[in-house]
Structures are given as C-alpha cells and as structure tokens.
Structure 1
Amino acid sequence: MKRIFSMALLLSFCMATAAAKTIADKKYNIAEHGAVADGTTLNTKAIQAVIDECAKKGGTVVVPKGEFLTGSLFLKPGVNLEIQEGGVLKGSTNIADYPTAMTRVEGHFEPWPAALLNGDKVDHLRITGAGTLDGNGAPFWKEFYGKRSIDKKTTNLSVPRPRLTLLQNSKDVIISGINYKNSGFWNLHLYKCQNLTVENCRFTAPDGKVPDDHAPSSDGIDVDCCQDITISKCFFSVGDDCIALKGTKGPFALQDKDSPPVERIHILDCVFEAGGGIVTCGSEATIVRDVNVERCITRRPTVLRLKLRPDTPQQYENISLKDITMENGGVLFNIAPWSQYFDLKGQQPPKSLVRNISITNVKGTGNSSMGKIVGNPDTEFGEIVLKNVDVQLKTGTLETSDVKGLKFENVVVNGAAMTVPAPTVTPKATPAPQQ
C-alpha cells in the first residue's frame, strides 16, 4: 500500500512538472496576434497586449521574421522573449512613443524616456534568438549633435534619447544571441541585477549602414550597481564605452543606498572593434571590485580605462585583464582624471583608491603609446602590475604621476625590454567644474 501511495505521489509530481513545463514552453507569436511586419505600422499596443496575455500563465513571446516597428515595451515576470533569425523589433523615431518616467540614468534618478525594451523584477528572464533590436537611432544622434553645435554646454541629459534595453532589480537572467544595433542612447543598461549572463551578442552603433560616423553615448553594456555578471563571446563596435561599470557620483556617493558596489564581473572571449575601452570604470562609479577580463581582442579600444572623478570617493580594486590580443589596438592604460561637469557641492575633494590592478599576457600591435596613469591630487595608487607583454606600438612612452606601486615584469615594446618609467607629469590642483 505504501509503495502504491509513493508511486501515486511520484506520478502526481511528474504530471505537475510536465504541466508547468507546458506552460513555460507556450509560445505567443506576435504576428499571429495583430502585429504587422511592414516596418511602418506602429505595433506597440499589439505587442504589449501579447506580453500581457503571456504573463497570465507564463511562456515565451516570439518575434518571427519581419520588421516590427514599436515604441517602449514592458516585459513581465514569467515572460521570456525569443527574437528569431530575421526578426526585428525596430524602435520608433518619435520620442513620444517612449513614455517618460523616473528612471536610473547617469548615476541617479530623473525623468527620462523608457527604453525600447524594459524589465523590472523579471527574475529568470530569457531573451534569446538570432534576431535584432534596432534602435533606429540616427535621428536621435542628429538631434543631439544639432543642439550641441548651437550650445557647447549641451550634455546627454539635455537631449532625452531612448536606450535599447533596461533591465533592473532582476536575478538569474540570460541574454543570448541578440543583435543590438543603432541605439539612440545606451544599448543594454543593467541596474541592480545579479547572476546575469550576456552571451553571443553583437553591439553596433552605427552599424555601417546609416549615414553617420558616430553614435553619441551608444555604450555597449552599462553594468550599473550589479553583481555576478558574465559577458562572453560578444562583439562591440560602438560610439562610446564598450563595457562601462557604473554606479553613482558626487561627494556623498558612499551614502547612496540605491547604488551598491559593482562586484564580480567576468568578461570572456569578446572582440572590441570600436569604442572607448574594453572595460571602463566611470563616468559615474564609486566602488568597483573583483573584475576579470580574459581572452579578448581589441582592434581600437583602450585595454583598461579608469575615469577618476575629482568629486567622488572612488575605489577601484582587484581588476585583472589577461590574455589580451591587440590588433592595431589602442593604449594599454587610460587611467586619468574625469572632470566633465563635476560638482563638489561645497565639500573638500574626497580621497580615491586604485589598487590590485593587473594586465598580463598581452601581445600584438597598437596604434599609439602605452597610455597614461595619472591621478587626481587625492588619488592613492596601490599595486598596478604589467606582466608578460610583447607588443609593437608607435611609441613605448607611458605618462605617469607618482604611482609608487607600478611594476613591470617581462614587458617588451618594439623589441626592447621596458622598465617602469619615472614620473612624467605632476598632478595638478583640482580643476574648476565645467559650467
């Protein structure tokens, strides 16, 4: 009798599991629910209705082959998204199609357009497929540069533009195979996420097919106050930072409970065609630690870029880059003050710390020098190690300030062994903020 009861329990469990799997596997094809793939019909309401219906029982919203024009879409818990090969979610060029809301941008919250694709508290989300998220960003770039040509004080926040994707407050997320292109602003913004993987994705802005040679602030991936993020086998060719590690800014940054540290970031097997750097800490960042970059190729971007704000108590530590190939790449280091629009709010300049930084096993060619390691007056440098490097550069110079912890081990540039250079610059007084 006990055995029969146990078998009944097992059968019941299997049936429940199968039912749950059936629900999870249920597909909702947007073309079968009113979305029109002609590239001109605005499909926002139709696609959002499909997402909302899918959220009732769970499943996957499918974007089939075709070009579906849309404004902001809002994913829900239990809803996955599959963009099939040849399928395109193309962003509207009408900013009114991206509703304004209080959102995280540049280290704080303010009214800003929603992204093309938005997700909040969407644990276990899967965004997959070989399709495309197209920001259709050229008109937004043109507007930004047009305003800046009239007023040089124009900043990003002066010209609201939509991101391609914003995911926040979410755990156990996978984004795989997606082609991000021509974002009006940042491509993929991750805020307060944990255990998230981005794999086999492409980030291009411009994509080479639009009549513009630069897409302003088209960061590839912005990792904002996140932990345990893996980025692997991705391609970047963007108009700003390829991967930016972000937080908050200002003299009271450490008191900001909405901005936990960026920690345990893994970047593997990626190619960096164009952009500011393989990995950049800043423009707004406070604590960034435990970052590992391995087996990556750079064809122009800087290997390591650390932006040192004179108004923010920054701490960058335990950052390792190894097995880096330079194919006419940029500089090895761009560690320098970042003084755009900073504000001390009447406070004394805070102290910052940079330590336990290593770049090892680097080979190939670069189109410039070794770069620079220069701090603000209140920057403290700990150990920075350059090891097992054999590169051809235009010049082997490295601009430094008083970096006592800098070490070279087996560093060869243009066939000659290099030693740690003497300081070549003297840190200046904190500059006045730009108005």
Structure 2
Amino acid sequence: MKKNTKRFLIILPLLLLFCLSMKSSTGINEPKKKEFLITKYGAVADGTTINTLAIQKAIDLATKRKNGGIVVFPKGRFLSGSIVLKDNVELFFEEGAVLLGSTNPSDYHKINFEGRPSSPKKDDNSQLALILANKANHIKLSGKGTIDGQGLKLALAVDSLHHAGITIDPNYNTRRNRPNETMRPKLFRFSQCNDVVIEDLNVGAASCWGLSFELCSNLTIDGLTIVNRSYWNNDGIDITDCKNVKIINCDVDAADDGICLKSYYPGHFNDSIYIANCTIRSSASAIKFGTASYGGFKNVTIEDIKVFDTFRSAVAIQTVDGGFIENVSINNIEAVNTGNAFFIRLGHRDGETPGSVKNVTIKNIKVQVPFGRPDINYDLRGPEVNFFHNPFSSAIVGIPGHKVENVTIENIEIEFPGGAFKGMAYVPLSRLDAVPEVIKGSPEFSMFGEYPAYGLYVRHAAGITLKNIQFTLAKSDFRPAFVFDDVTDITMEKINLPKLSQGQIILKDSEKTTLDDGAAGLVQKY
C-alpha cells in the first residue's frame, strides 16, 4: 500500500469525527423541540376562563422531555394565575396571543425560592408573580404576543380585600392609600436561574414591579416593549445580584424606575451588566443603582440610551447599605425633559460599615432639565418633593470620612432652566455647612434640599475629573455653576458656562486642583 494511501486511511476517521462534532455543535443533529399548544391541554382563548392548570400542564410536560419543549400560545386572550416556568422550556407567543393576569388575588401564589442567601431586607418586595421561576435553566420567552398583568384591577382587588377585612395587609400604606408592595403580584419573578432569554414581546401592566430577576446568570432581555404604569411601585426591569446580563433594544415606560439594579444579598453583587440602545420614560429615575445596595455593583456598561419625561434622574448611581460600586462606564445618553442629569451618592443607611463608589466614567451626555415637573402629564405621578426648592443640579456626594473616588465626567451638555429665586430657597455660599449630610437618608437627587449650585454640587469626593463641560441657562440663575466642598484632586478643562465671570467655581476645604486657564479664572474660595 502506498504511503499516501496509508496516511489517508489514518486521517479519514479523524475527519469523520471532526465533522460529526461540528454537526453536533451547530445543532444539526439535535432533535427539534416538540411544541405544546396550550389549547390542546384545555386552555380557552375567551379572556374569562382561568387557564392556569392547562398552561402549567403544558409546561410540566415540556420540561420532562430530554431537550425540553416549546409551549405555544396561539392567537387569543388567555387568562391565568401564577404559572411556574421550568428547565428547558420556551413560552412562545404567536402574533395576537395575549396572556392576561387574573384580577383575582387568590389566583396567585408563592413558590419556595429555596437556596437563596439571607438578606437584611428579607422579603420586603412581592414574592408573588404571574410568571415564576426558581433554579430553572435554559428558559426562554419570545414571540410577537403580549403579557398583560391587568395590574390596576388586580391592585384594587387587593385593596378591597384589605378594607373588607378578608386579607389584611399589616403594612398597608395609609398615607398613600394603597396596599404594600409585598401584597401585590409582579409580572415576572425569577430567582437563581441560568441561561434566560426574553425577547420581542409586549409586556407590562403589573400591580407591582414588572420584570424581576435575582441571583440569575446569563440573562438576555432584547427587543421588549414594556409599559408598566398601572399602579404604584411599577418598575420596568429590576436586576438583583445577577451576573452576565444584557438588556438591549428595549422601550420602557414605567410609573417607577425604568431599569433598576439592586443588591439585596451581602457577599453577592451585580457583575458584568450591559444596558444599551434603550428608550426610557419614568416617573422616578430612568436607570438606577439601588436603593437596596448590600452587596454591590461591578463592571456595568450603559450606552446609547434615550430618556424623556422622567421625574428624577436620567442616571442615579447610589449605594447606602454597605455595598460597593466599581467600574461603571456610561456613554452616549440623551435626555429631554428630565429632572436631573446624574446623581452619585455614597451614604450609610444600613450595613455595618459604609460601602464605596469608585471608578465611574460618564461621557457624551446631553440633558435638558425643565423648570416644572417632567412627569406632569402622567396618570400616576411619583410623590412630589415636600419642600420649596429651585431647580436641582447634578450631584456627586459622599459622607464625612468616606469619599466618592475617581469619577470622570467628559463631553457633557446640560441645559438648565435657570429662574432660581432667593425668596424660594437660599443657601448662601458662606453657609455651605447648612446643606445637610443626611447620612442615613434614602438616596434621591432631592435629599439635600436646596442645592447651592445650579450645575454640579460635589461634596466628600476625591479624584474628580471634568473635561469639556457645557452648561446653558434658559434664564439667569443667581447660584454658581459648581460647588466643591471637601474635595481633593480636582481636574477641570474646557469649562463652558453662560457667564464667564469670577465666582462660578466655588472651592471650600478642597485641595490639589488642576485647572486650565479658563477654569482657574472662575474660581472663588471659601
């Protein structure tokens, strides 16, 4: 036998093995997942028949198959209470398919979220939901249909049960005349799940938070339209102590925070979070870290975001319960009619020791701040600030002995309304200590009351770099553009302000400043 023929006979089996492995890796040899049409298991598309058992039966059968299955919702309106999603199951909604949440509170139940670490906050948010999942792997929701929680009717039903003495809410909010959020079901409640994909659906109208995920990994949320403004505590998306999360191409309209990163579990934290190409409208903050902040937030990238008609901050970066915030990159934000451009806060509301905020970069943002409430036309508006104030500036604020560190703000344009009036609220520059520390306060951009600056207020910070900053005023403002109080290592370059005059940059107990000639000419020390 010739030498080349021998070589071919040796190589041939290896080639066959390679081809077989390639087919397997590309899914060519994988059997097609079986479809489970919910109407075959008794589901009725009339919008009034409760279909919980039929839908759950389809899910349970699908998860028993070796490679899982696809539970199909055909065109029609399917009413249901709580359903539990399980391993290797996809819920697919055909065009025109609608999953309606029941308006009867008794149709919702909790599941045993076993294996969760303990949290100082315990269960202070609802464990009820229309779609539940715990330790479920390789799950998906997709299609062109709708998931509608019917949240207003459901919340009012919960409220009625309380007042009728049937199901008493021990934490009923008498001031705001509503049941506590623990009593009201969310739309989704996923815990400790891995490899989750949710895409292309219309979802929302929950009685509480919308899409809630905790301790999950490898989560993708892509192309959703989320309208969650039926009732109070209507966040759009909540991500708690998750890893490898991608939220892209979503349109979020929320009565509370739009996209909210939370941390309930000490020793756990959000890691590798990517949020991009989303449009957000919110009666609270568009994108927020906290307020629950026990573990932390690390390696977060936010880019290409449009914000409009948002009451509080376009971006709020906050830790007040001992957690850390580290390596945050924000780029290309456009916000119109928004109460505050950005708010960065390190406080000490809870936890043994304060946390930390370091290495935050905010670049290429353009924000327009109005004089009045940006959410005035909402049906449901967030609580109004209960004190007189002039328009709020952006802020970076730590606490005594614990500074926010290494923040870079670059290529920023903020249009402020001006119109500040000393008779409305006034903090003289000679009394900057009058600005309260509020060390244990719940973090909000309004927590310090009146700001002594119209543009940016910085207190208890180190390593603040400001480059190519442009502030404009629709009307004059008696306050300076910048106030720095107990800040070290300040760098300022290319500062463009409406009035290039002395006293636009105020330094109090601040040192190690590197200012270009333009900025240096605007400084006044106290």
In the TM superposition, 1:284-363 aligns within 5 A as 284-286=292-294, 287-301=296-310, 302-309=313-320, 312-336=321-345, 350-363=353-366
Are positions 1:95 and 2:98 aligned together? no
Q: Residue 471 of structure 2 aligns with which residue?
A: 413
Farther off after superposition, 104-113 or 192-201: 104-113
Q: Report which stretch shifted further, 387-396 or 313-322.
A: 387-396
Report matched runs for 1:1-16 at 5 Å. none
State TM-score, norm by structure 2: 0.68
TM-superposition CA deviations, 1:196-251 (whole Å, max 9, x none): 11000022122xxxxx6xx21111111111011000010111111111111127xx
Larger deviation, residues 166-175 vs 353-362: 166-175
Counterpart residue number, 2:138: 124
CA pair 144-383 structure 1, distance change in 2 beyond 3 A:
farther
Q: 1:181 aligns with which of 193, 204, 216?
A: 204
- Residue equivalent to 2:71: 61
Question: Structure 1 CA distance, aligned partners of 2:176 and 2:507?
Answer: 29
Distance 1:117-1:338 versus aligned 2 partners, 3 A rule? farther
Name the count of aligned residue pairs: 400
Q: Deviations over 1:280-299 (max 9, x none)?
A: 11121231111111111010
- Of residues 253, 265, 288, the one that matches 1:237 is 253
In the TM superposition, residue 277 of structure 1 has moved relative to its aligned partner by 2.2
Secondary structure of 1:41 counterpart = strand
Matched, 1:198 2:207: no
Q: Secondary structure at the match of 2:87?
A: coil
The letter for the 1-side match of 2:77 is: E
Could you state the TM-score of these two structures normalised by the residue count of structure 1? Answer: 0.81
Structure 1 Cα separation of the partners of residues 484 and 20 of structure 2: 74
| Percent identity of paired positions between Structure 1 and Structure 2 | 27
For 1:109 and 1:54, the matched residues in 2 are separated by 31
| Partner SS for 1:55 | helix
- CA drift of 1:403 comes to 2.4
Q: Give the equivalent residue in structure 1 for 2:275.
A: 267
The residue aligned with 2:6 is: none
Change (3 A) 1:38 1:394: same
Deviation of 1:81 (Å): 0.9
RCO comparison, higher one (Cα < 8 Å, 6+): 1
CA displacement, residues 31-54 of structure 1 (integer Å, 9 cap, x when unaligned) = 233111111110001111111122
What is aligned with 1:432?
none
Query: CA 1:295–1:18 in 2, change beyond 3 Å: closer, same or farther?
Result: closer
Higher mean alpha-carbon deviation, 89-98 vs 358-367, is at: 358-367
- Give the C-alpha shift of residue 138 in structure 1: 0.3
Check 1:425–1:199 CA distance in 2 against 1; reply closer, same or farther (3 A cut): farther
**Alpha-carbon distance change, 136 to 390 in structure 1, aligned in 2, over 3 angstroms:** same
Amino acid paired to 1:163: K
Q: Is 358-367 or 261-270 further displaced after alignment? A: 358-367
Report what 1:279 is aligned to: 287
Which amino acid is 2:417 matched to?
K
Q: 1:52 to 1:414 in 2, by over 3 A?
A: same
Asked if structure 2 preserves the Cα contact closer than 8 Å seen for 1:280 and 1:305, the reply is yes
Q: CA deviation at 1:380?
A: 2.2
In structure 1, C-alpha distance between the alignment counterparts of 2:316 and 2:472, rounded to whole Å: 23
Provide the C-alpha distance between the structure 1 equivalents of 2:192 and 2:30, rounded to a whole number of angstroms. Answer: 25
**Distance in 1 between residues matched to 2:20 and 2:395, nearest whole Å:** 65
Q: Who is 2:395 aligned against?
A: 372
Aligned to 1:392: 415
Q: CA deviation at 1:195?
A: 1.4
Query: What residue identity is the alignment partner of 2:258?
Result: C
Could you tell me which residue of structure 1 aligns to residue 239 of structure 2?
Answer: 223
Instruction: Tell me the secondary structure at the aligned position of residue 190 of structure 2.
Output: strand
Between the aligned partners of 2:344 and 2:464, the Cα distance in structure 1 is 13
Deviation for aligned residue 1:270: 0.3
Contact 2:173–2:179 (CA under 8 A) maintained in structure 1: no
Shift of 1:308: 3.7
From 28, 41, 57, the equivalent of 1:33 is 41
- Name 1:433's counterpart in structure 2: none
Q: Is the 8 A contact 1:100 1:112 kept in 2?
A: no
Alpha-carbon RMSD across the aligned residues, in angstroms, is 3.4
The worse-fitting range, judged by mean Cα deviation, of 350-359 and 222-231 is 350-359
Structure 2 vs 1, CA of residues 141 and 410 (structure 1 numbering), >3 Å: closer, same or farther? farther
- 1:2/1:136 CA distance change after superposition, 3 Å: same
Q: Which residue of 1 aligns with 2:91?
A: 81
8 Å CA contact 1:313–1:350 kept in 2: the answer is yes
* Paired residue secondary structure (2:56): helix
Shift of 1:177: 0.7
Shift of 1:166: 1.7
The answer for unaligned runs of 5 or more in structure 1 is 207-211, 255-259, 427-435
Aligned AA for 2:39?
A
The answer on 1:422 being equivalent to 2:433 is: no
8 Å CA contact 1:398–1:421 kept in 2: the answer is: yes
Q: How many angstroms apart in 1 are the aligned matches of 2:251 and 2:213?
A: 18
Distance in 1 between residues matched to 2:83 and 2:11, nearest whole Å: 51
Letter in 2 for 1:421: V
Which structure 2 segments of 5+ residues have no match? 1-8, 164-168, 371-390, 419-453, 475-479, 486-505, 509-526
